[in-house]
Amino acid sequence: MRQIVLDTETTGLDPDDGHRLVEVAGVEVLNRQLTGRHLHLYVNPGRDSDPEALAIHGLDTAFLSQYPGFEEVADQVIAFVQGAELIIHNAVFDTRFLDAEFKRAGLAALNTHCAKITDSLAHARELHPGKRNSLDALCERYGISNAHRVLHGALLDSELLADVWLAMTRGQDSFIMDLDPHAGGSADGAMDTREIAAGLPVVYASADAVAQHEAYLDELEKVANQPPLWRTLSGV
């Protein structure tokens, strides 16, 4: 599936308090490869950023005043994310702001324009419970350099998150996924696993390995006073 790794910057923490987007960016991932296509938009929020937010992204009112409001670029955002899976770190935060901006522009919510929204922060917490799972922490954990990240920026952060996401999900790959899809398969394009298995070498255990295994099972049987499950199922 086509994926878009997305990030935003805002004037504050809560769109219900009138805070707005100031930057939207995303990078495209196709077949687990960055394609080089990206979206990067600065947005005039029509208001000042809170001091705390300004300290994070550094996008002041004077700089943003030269850019259009979100209503004028909403179609570009929709076109870029259309039909894709969105990967967003702490997705609830970004989607609340994007939904508020779409609503203000008279457009449907973000999830109606994309295939699904995946929260990379939730995924990281499942993989690394009890550990720090900020973008900086994940970059350090997966050996991804973020030395050039002085201020938060939506495009830079989406690029870093794309690298982190690919590293976090690397174990989800299988050798079957990497096979030539034109080499054969079922009518729906799926690989026939029987054909794959037929081409794999069969490696038998040596006589010594079999003897050691049987000795191990003998010991288990003595301790448990009953045959091991392996022998029960195999009828040995």
Instruction: Give the residue numbers marked as catalytic.
Output: 152
Amino acid at 145: S
CA distance 46 to 48: 7
Cβ neighbours for 128, distance < 8 A, ≥ 6 positions apart: 141
- Cα 40 to Cα 6, 26, 189: the distances in Å are 10, 7, 35
CA distance 149 to 160: 9
Q: Are 158 and 27 in contact (CB under 8 A)?
A: yes
DSSP state of 17: G
> Is residue 9 classed as helix, strand or coil in its secondary structure?
strand
